[in-house]
Amino acid sequence: MKAINLVCSTAFMMGAALVISLLTNVSGIFPDDVLTSDVRSNLTIFLLAVMLTITLSRIPFRNLDPVKNYRSVIRAVLLGLVFASVIPLAAYYILNSMDGYEAYAKGLVFLAATPFAASVGPLSLILRGDLEHALRSTIIVYVISLVWIPFIIWLTLGEIVDMTKVVITVIELIGVPLVVSRLITKAKIDKTVMSVVLNCVIAFLVWLSVSSTNFPKDMVILVVFMFVAFLRDFGLGSATEVMEKKSGIPWSQRVTDILMISYKNKGIAIALCVSVMTGPAIGSAMVPIAASIVIEIIWVAFMDSVLFSKKRMNRELEADREAGLHQTWE
């Protein structure tokens, strides 16, 4: 039972995969003669598309009307796409002009372009967040991402990448899962089995990408990218919590908003990187993504044990009741 609990833990599986990936990378035993860049690209896109299809299929049709719920949609787009992309994009423009950072900085573009993770919905349920808002926003934001992702990549890397390939990749990664997932919303899938399968796929994708990452010899470069990831996860997440709490926004909305602005879909970033970049440029562009994975594992652990701990959740819910604030699920 304990083993199943560990496999069902996304933070544990990502952490374990990261350790194995780094050992594989340092020891030089990654089978790049078998897992070539083309193989990695096709495998990543396929696995991520399957994973996203399964995850999105758990979101029902009800309450998806973007017109009726326009305020919720605007909030999700601003937090999950616009504001969440500011720090990676700013860092890209700064670092891309600095000697020694150009090859690596391009990975920041893929982090900036991706939406929040599709698991924001299930996490909102566990943490007593705004589940209806989370589920509705996930579908709508991913639809908007069909345009948003190519736009961000065109804006920053349009002169050096094949935009046709970018569009095709986005359709394969997001467009197809969006359509197929709507066809299987009523299919019964055991939650434990789904959690195990999805976490194993995530772990494999982390290993596949980080093991082949071309880490810089100058570790200062890696530390810089980890700092950028820290600003995005801890900075934006904590700032959202402080500002929304001061504004009198109840716990349920704060939880989901924090997840949207800080919890990026690293799988999409990895898939875009390995399919859009070519040759050694893939390994270099993966550095910011690998650095982001490290910080995000720490951020997830921080959210679980501190920011969204059961003790703090109960305290915040009681404070909301005393202030006359109502949760969305009440």
Supply 162's token pair: 């094949």
Please give the pLDDT value at position 122.
Answer: 77
CA distances from 80 to 128, 261, 274 (A): 19, 5, 23
Helices 37-56/176-183 angle, 10° precision: 40
Helices (H), the chain: 2-7, 10-27, 37-56, 70-77, 84-95, 102-105, 107-113, 120-126, 131-157, 163-170, 176-183, 191-210, 219-230, 236-246, 251-262, 266-276, 280-302, 310-322
Please give the pLDDT value at position 249.
Answer: 86
Please give the pLDDT value at position 13.
Answer: 83
Which burial class, exposed, middle or buried, applies to 30 when counting CB atoms under 10 A from its CB (0-12, 13-18, 19+)?
A: middle
Alpha-carbon distance of 196 to 10, in angstroms, equals 9
Amino acid found at 120: V
- The answer to whether 150 touches 167, Cβ cutoff 8 Å, is yes
Alpha-carbon distance of 260 to 76, in angstroms, equals 7
Please give the pLDDT value at position 157.
Answer: 94
Averaged pLDDT in 10-residue chunks for the chain of 330 residues: 74 85 90 85 89 83 72 90 96 94 94 91 77 86 95 94 93 93 85 83 87 88 96 95 90 90 90 88 92 89 85 87 71
**Tens of pLDDT, residues 119-167:** 888 778 777 788 888 888 888 999 999 999 999 999 999 888 899 999 9
Helices 163-170/131-157 angle, 10° precision: 170
Domain boundaries, the chain: 32-318
Alpha-carbon distance of 7 to 270, in angstroms, equals 22
Please give the pLDDT value at position 38.
Answer: 84
Please give the pLDDT value at position 156.
Answer: 95
The CATH code for residues 32-318 is 1.20.1530.20
Write down the residue that tokens 């758990």 correspond to.
58
